[in-house]
């Protein structure tokens, strides 16, 4: 099963964005995902990883929830 | 650091409650928590664990976000 991590910058107030992404992923994939973890960080970080692979990084990609959901799809239901 | 898991029943539509609890915990404790993981489940499950210890179980406790936050507090900032 698939674990998604959303590492976000706490002091920058990115919790809402992190929650939006987790809600979109869990609404889209439900039990096909094992878990979505909101990981606290700082220094402006906003990175999404699927099974350890970076699929979105704020320093490189435009923030777009639908694009992040599409980027996670190939990892969904991956062999445990 | 502290990991909190919120295992919730996907088919029962408990994602919103799970999101409310994760938001309350992350708003209250921020970087004192390492991560809050939303873990998909079924069969009516709604269980909150802090570092593996059950601190809320829907089959035993009244659902109350503030009470769940208070129950997590002793585990916050626990030695890594």
Nearest to A15 among B26, B39, B42 (CB): B26
What phi and psi values does residue B64 have, to the nearest 5 degrees? Answer: -155, 110
Number of domains in chain B: 1
Interval B1-34: pLDDT, tens: 799 999 999 999 999 999 999 999 999 999 999 9
The ipTM estimated for the assembled molecules is 0.93
Say if the Cβ atoms of B40 and A35 lie within 8 Å: yes
Within 8 A of B41 by CB-CB distance, chain A residues are 31
b/e per residue B4-33 (b: at least 16 CB within 10 A): bbbbbbbeeebbebbbebbbbbbebbeebb
Interval A13-70: pLDDT, tens: 999 999 999 999 999 999 999 999 999 999 999 999 999 999 999 999 999 999 999 9
**CATH value at residue A42:** 3.40.30.10
Identify whether A80 is part of a domain.
no
Identify whether B54 is part of a domain.
yes
Tokens of B42: 């079924």
Nearest to A15 among B5, B23, B40 (CB): B23
């Amino acid at each position: 099963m698939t674990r998604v991590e959303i590492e976000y910058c706490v002091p920058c107030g990115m919790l809402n964005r992190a929650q939006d992404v987790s809600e979109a992923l869990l609404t889209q994939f439900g039990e096909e995902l094992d878990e979505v973890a909101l990981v606290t960080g700082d220094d402006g970080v906003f990175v999404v990883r699927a099974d350890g692979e970076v699929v979105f990084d704020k320093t490189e990609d435009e923030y777009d929830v639908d694009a992040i959901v599409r980027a996670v799809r190939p990892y969904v239901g991956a062999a445990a």
